[in-house]
């Protein structure tokens, strides 16, 4: 990684300016009133690299204090937003709150790596915090998205002072867990999720300005008020950019800083690189009690729930297994604390009711138990699993995920061969069709099915997340639509949804996508969850197996996860197609790498159903009382 230290003359001038100019520290009034701050501490790592760290201690209280650490790749030069809210909450509750930049970010030294070297830098940071005179030695970690994702790999190290963690929307830190092989949200079903390319545009900086390493803490504090070292990236129309070919040129063509984006884009799901960085894989132990927070309309809710189960069932320490809790909210990415308190939550276009939840009460109760060692009854009184059921619009709880009472009910795809579009004859039936049939459609990568809603984050507005009326999508002939009869009772679907398609194509490789939809009495069709699967990975992600044109293959789709009640008078619908763009990178149908290709092949894809090829979706239905 190249860095450009400022020339000595320039640095000297800056020091003079910094020491002769009064610059207010970015220290908001609401925090200043309750906290003593020690900012721009350079915490040493084992290799000598130092990480910029801010410490906020409760004012007018006697320590030592339990410590909550938020480690981030983002700019905290001016503490604000959710970080400020967290600082205030924890300091008020008697905690030391610590914010630290990953190495290679802003004023931290060293070379940046995605997830911030959690096994080493995470370990060393915990050790440093535990040794401070103001610390009681008990350290917890907290964060959402990039401030959460590094925590899993650290948990595998089982640091003796890492007593508890609260990871929110942490899927990009999960490599392989159970049946999920997403490698940190890079893939779903073997298909690249374009959000990471967009995210890297604003984050990667292999070349960056740095200040000399011999500055005093006071000089760093003053310079930080003048220079936040944040790049100002030009705005990009990502919906248009992601339509360009080849994909390998996306970042270079918009003037992105140098970084790992292209190298990662060229990786396949089984690339050894995924197992050499900071991702957590389920071949590792899990050593820390965790309170997980996930969202129904966020990337990676399936792997997130699978990791909760892995830690709950497989951690070697019984106390760690007993210390796992999870909440799943009906929100978008990191939307927990943006849930309205006095009105209904709208996610996309769908009203999911009043979804308020005592987030802070439970988070503080969890940390009080593990970091303050209070006998507050948290373990005994907190449900293991708390989840919001959409449609019914209420919070529920269970002892396990999925709830033990859920029963698998299978719906079979059927038609007379004309399921194309909303106006076709596709049906979802509880019985296997008596006769064989099939539905074909043309998938043209240059005219893909557009993304509308779903589990989306961080893609620069290229596609939107949440639930939207899908009838415009369903009017397309390259979307197969299968719809149930009217439901005569409320039908709660809670758990893992599995689906199997029997497919054929005249291409060597293609994708198949599915979308579960709730059809309201007025015809509005709101998406519940969706996924996609690259056919070359139908036998596993360790190898590619291409199709023989015209031959029929059994395709197990990547699982869905939800809790949603289809109300009486509604219908259950399944859409089948081959794209959801630009949320997922298009398969160009050539059998090639896709990433470096500029030409596409139009594919004629077919879904088969009937006694021999029973394409189907299996829903976990909770019996009504």
Q: What band does 125 get if pLDDT is binned at 50, 70 and 90?
A: very high
Q: Which residues contact 480 (CB under 8 A, 6 or more apart)?
A: 419, 420, 424, 426, 439, 441, 575, 576, 577, 607
Q: Would you state the pLDDT for residue 20?
A: 37
Beta strands in 76-123 (DSSP E): 96-101
CA distances from 547 to 536, 539, 576, 589, 605 (A): 7, 12, 19, 11, 12
CA distances from 612 to 120, 206, 430, 549 (A): 53, 55, 16, 19
- Nearest Cα neighbor of 546 from 537, 559, 533 is 537
Take residue 10 and report the two structure tokens written for it.
């320039």
Three-point CA angle 611, 443, 186, nearest 5° = 95
Would you say 349 and 464 are in contact if contact means Cβ atoms under 8 Å apart? Answer: no
Q: Give me the mean pLDDT over the 393-416 stretch.
A: 98
Q: Would you state the pLDDT for residue 207?
A: 86
The rounded distance, in Å, linking the Cα atoms of 371 and 129 is: 13
Q: Would you state the pLDDT for residue 12?
A: 44
Partners of 44 in beta bridges: 50
Q: Give me the mean pLDDT over the 127-143 stretch.
A: 98
Q: What band does 412 get if pLDDT is binned at 50, 70 and 90?
A: very high
Q: Is 437 a catalytic site residue?
A: no
Q: Which residues contact 625 (CB under 8 A, 6 or more apart)?
A: none
The rounded distance, in Å, linking the Cα atoms of 611 and 431 is: 10
Residues in the chain: 625
Assign 469 to helix, strand or coil: strand
Would you say 328 and 291 are in contact if contact means Cβ atoms under 8 Å apart? Answer: no
Q: What band does 384 get if pLDDT is binned at 50, 70 and 90?
A: very high
Q: Give me the mean pLDDT over the 137-160 stretch.
A: 97
Take residue 98 and report the two structure tokens written for it.
């610590």
Work out the mean pLDDT of the chain and round it to a whole number: 94
Is residue 24 pLDDT above 50, yes or no? no
Q: Is 145 a catalytic site residue?
A: yes
pLDDT tens for residues 533-555?
Answer: 999 999 999 999 999 998 999 99
pLDDT tens for residues 294-315?
Answer: 999 999 999 999 999 999 999 9
Phi, psi of 296 (to 5 degrees): -70, -30
Q: Would you state the pLDDT for residue 468?
A: 98
Q: Give me the mean pLDDT over the 242-249 stretch.
A: 97
Q: To the nearest whole percent, how much of the chain has pLDDT over 90? A: 92
Q: Give me the mean pLDDT over the 488-499 stretch.
A: 98
CA 436 vs. chain centroid, Å, equals: 40
Domains of the chain: 25-147 (3.40.50.1820), 166-174+289-401 (3.40.50.1820), 407-622 (2.60.120.260)
| Strand 162-168 with 290-295, pairing | parallel
pLDDT tens for residues 312-329?
Answer: 999 999 999 999 999 999
Write a three-state SS string for 346-409. Answer: EEECEECCCCCCCHHHHHHHHHHHHCCCCCCCHHHHCCCEEEEEECCCEEEEECCCCCCCCEEE
Determine which one of 159, 192, 310, 333 is catalytic: 333
Determine which one of 298, 439, 509, 529 is catalytic: 298
Is residue 23 pLDDT above 90, yes or no? no
- Strands in 35-44's sheet, in edge-to-edge order, are 35-44, 50-58, 96-101, 65-72, 135-144, 162-168, 290-295, 324-329, 385-389, 394-398
Is residue 10 pLDDT above 50, yes or no? no
Q: To the nearest whole percent, how much of the chain has pLDDT over 70? A: 96
pLDDT tens for residues 57-77?
Answer: 999 899 999 999 999 999 988
The rounded distance, in Å, linking the Cα atoms of 497 and 589 is: 27
Q: Give me the mean pLDDT over the 101-128 stretch.
A: 96
pLDDT tens for residues 503-531?
Answer: 999 999 999 999 999 999 999 999 999 99
Q: Would you state the pLDDT for residue 26?
A: 55
Neighbours of 446 (CB within 10 A): 11
The rounded distance, in Å, linking the Cα atoms of 80 and 189 is: 37
Between 139 and 232, name the one with better pLDDT.
139
Q: What band does 348 get if pLDDT is binned at 50, 70 and 90?
A: very high
The rounded distance, in Å, linking the Cα atoms of 401 and 396 is: 12
Q: Is 509 a catalytic site residue?
A: no
Determine which one of 108, 135, 145, 561 is catalytic: 145
Q: Would you state the pLDDT for residue 77?
A: 86
pLDDT tens for residues 202-241?
Answer: 999 888 889 999 999 999 999 998 998 988 899 999 999 9
Q: What band does 624 get if pLDDT is binned at 50, 70 and 90?
A: confident
The rounded distance, in Å, linking the Cα atoms of 467 and 298 is: 11
């Amino acid at each position: 990684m190249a860095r450009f230290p400022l020339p000595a003359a320039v640095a000297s001038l800056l020091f003079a300016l910094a020491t002769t100019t009064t610059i207010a520290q970015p220290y908001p009034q609401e925090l200043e009133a309750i906290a003593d701050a020690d900012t721009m501490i350079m915490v040493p790592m084992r290799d000598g690299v130092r990480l910029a760290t801010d410490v906020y201690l409760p004012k007018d209280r006697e320590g030592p204090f339990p410590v909550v650490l938020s480690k981030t790749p983002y700019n905290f030069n001016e503490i604000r937003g959710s970080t400020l809210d967290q600082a205030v909450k924890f300091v008020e509750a008697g905690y030391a709150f610590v914010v630290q930049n990953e190495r290679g970010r802003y004023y931290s030294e060293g070379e940046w790596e995605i997830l911030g070297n959690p096994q080493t830098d995470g370990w060393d940071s915990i050790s440093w915090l535990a040794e401070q005179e103001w610390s009681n030695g008990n350290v917890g970690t907290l964060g959402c998205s990039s401030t959460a994702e590094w925590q899993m790999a650290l948990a595998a190290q089982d640091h003796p002072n890492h007593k508890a963690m609260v990871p929110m929307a942490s899927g990009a830190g999960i490599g392989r867990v159970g049946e999920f092989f997403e490698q940190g949200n890079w893939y779903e079903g073997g298909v690249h999720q374009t959000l990471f390319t967009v995210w890297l545009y604003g984050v990667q900086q292999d070349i960056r300005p740095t200040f000399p390493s011999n500055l005093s803490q006071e000089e760093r504090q003053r310079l930080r008020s003048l220079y936040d070292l944040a790049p100002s990236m030009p705005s990009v129309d990502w919906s248009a950019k992601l339509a360009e070919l080849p994909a390998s040129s996306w970042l270079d063509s918009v003037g992105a800083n140098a970084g790992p984006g292209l190298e990662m884009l060229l990786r396949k799901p089984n690339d050894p690189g995924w197992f050499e960085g900071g991702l957590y894989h389920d071949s590792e132990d899990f050593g820390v009690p965790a309170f997980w927070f996930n969202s129904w309309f966020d990337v990676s809710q399936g792997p997130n729930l699978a990791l909760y189960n892995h830690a709950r069932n497989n951690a070697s320490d019984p106390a760690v297994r007993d210390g796992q809790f999870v909440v799943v909210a009906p929100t978008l990415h990191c939307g927990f604390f943006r849930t309205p308190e006095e009105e209904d939550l709208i996610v996309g276009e769908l009203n999911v009711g009043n979804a308020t939840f005592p987030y802070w009460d439970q988070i503080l109760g969890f940390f009080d138990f593990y970091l303050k060692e209070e006998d507050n009854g948290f373990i005994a009184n907190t449900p293991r699993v708390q989840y919001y059921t959409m449609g019914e619009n209420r919070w529920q709880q269970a002892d396990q995920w999925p709830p033990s009472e859920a029963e698998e009910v299978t719906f079979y795809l059927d038609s007379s061969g004309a399921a194309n579009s909303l106006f076709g004859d596709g049906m979802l039936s509880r019985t296997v069709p008596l006769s064989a049939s099939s539905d074909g459609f043309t998938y043209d990568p240059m005219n893909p099915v557009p993304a509308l809603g779903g589990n989306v984050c961080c893609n620069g507005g290229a596609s939107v997340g949440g639930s939207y009326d899908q009838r415009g999508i369903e009017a397309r002939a390259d979307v197969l639509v299968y719809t149930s009869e009217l439901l005569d009772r409320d039908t709660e679907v809670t758990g893992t949804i599995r689906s199997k398609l029997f497919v054929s194509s005249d291409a060597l490789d293609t994708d198949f996508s599915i979308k579960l939809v709730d059809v309201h009495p007025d015809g509005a069709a709101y998406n519940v969850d969706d996924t996609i699967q690259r056919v070359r990975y139908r036998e596993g992600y360790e190898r590619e197996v291409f199709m023989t044109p015209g031959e029929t293959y059994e395709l197990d789709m990547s699982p869905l996860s939800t809790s949603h009640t289809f109300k009486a008078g509604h219908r259950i619908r399944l859409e089948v197609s081959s794209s959801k763009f630009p949320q997922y990178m298009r398969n160009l149908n050539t059998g090639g790498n896709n990433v470096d290709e500029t030409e596409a092949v139009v594919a004629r894809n077919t879904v088969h159903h009937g006694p021999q090829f029973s394409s189907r979706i299996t829903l976990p239905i909770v019996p009504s009382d």
